[in-house]
Amino acid sequence: MIPSDHFVRFYNEVFKFLDERGGLKDYYEEISRHQEFHCLDLFRRKGLKGVVEYYEKIRKEENCILDLELRDDCLISRMACCPSLTKVLDNDAEPFLKYCDHCAGWSIPLYTKCGIYYVQDMIDRRKPACRSVRTESREVAERVRREFLEGGSPPELVNSNLDDWQEVEKNKSERMKP
């Protein structure tokens, strides 16, 4: 048994294997489908409050230093210490350089299905800190993305599902139906 404590170090090995074969994107999509088991119904039913509920559990169980600020129009998440990357860096096996990419990799398809915009700034792939915003407003998501980029974050470190805005809007409308 790989202890649950050590899963992320196994994950890191899986990423290295898949990256050499061009298989990361498909795997992230599989993990996203897996995460639907935990998140899809919750996020669809409760929207951003559901996201807060899920991440409060993650913050406790995964020992994150994570600030969640729920505003009227968005949820701001500031990860001051990501336990996942911290463990991968504290590892006798070599860390996968694009380790952080998996987070947006599984999150974007999931949030799109839930009709929620997701904008993430990885800040620095070698440091276990990042920031992200979830919102139901395309306008807010566009503004946040612009602010991340104007603040100096390189485009390759800023991820979002804004390119799929039509899909987000369609899924949001379905979710809002009485």
Partner 1 sequence: MLRYQEDNELHRDFHGTTNTTLDYIAKHYGVDALKMILRKTGHDVYKSIHDKLAKGNASELIEHLNWFFYREQGKYQLTVSENEIVLEVFECPAIRHLHKMGREVSPYICLQTSEVNAGMCEGTPWVSEVKVVGEGHCIQTFRKEAGHDTK
Interaction site with partner 1 (CB under 8 A): 1-11, 13-14, 17, 21, 23, 26-27, 30-31, 34, 37-38, 58, 60-63, 87, 90-94
Distances in Å between the Cα of 155 and the Cα atoms of 73, 124, 161, 164 are 24, 12, 14, 17
Alpha helix positions (H), the chain:
7-20, 24-46, 48-61, 83-89, 101-114, 138-150, 165-176
Alpha-carbon distance of 102 to 51, in angstroms, equals: 18
Q: Residue 104 Cβ, how far from partner 1 at the closest point, in Å?
A: 16
Sheet strands side by side (includes 130-135): 65-70, 75-81, 130-135, 117-121, 158-160
Q: Residue 60 Cβ, how far from partner 1 at the closest point, in Å?
A: 6
CB atoms inside a 10 Å sphere around CB 59? 18
Residue with smaller CB distance to partner 1, 39 or 119: 39
Q: Residue 38 Cβ, how far from partner 1 at the closest point, in Å?
A: 7
Q: Residue 30 Cβ, how far from partner 1 at the closest point, in Å?
A: 5
Residue with smaller CB distance to partner 1, 25 or 71: 25
Residue with smaller CB distance to partner 1, 39 or 123: 39
Residue with smaller CB distance to partner 1, 31 or 149: 31
Residue with smaller CB distance to partner 1, 33 or 175: 33
The distance of Cα 154 from the centroid of its chain, to the nearest Å, equals 18
Q: Residue 109 Cβ, how far from partner 1 at the closest point, in Å?
A: 15
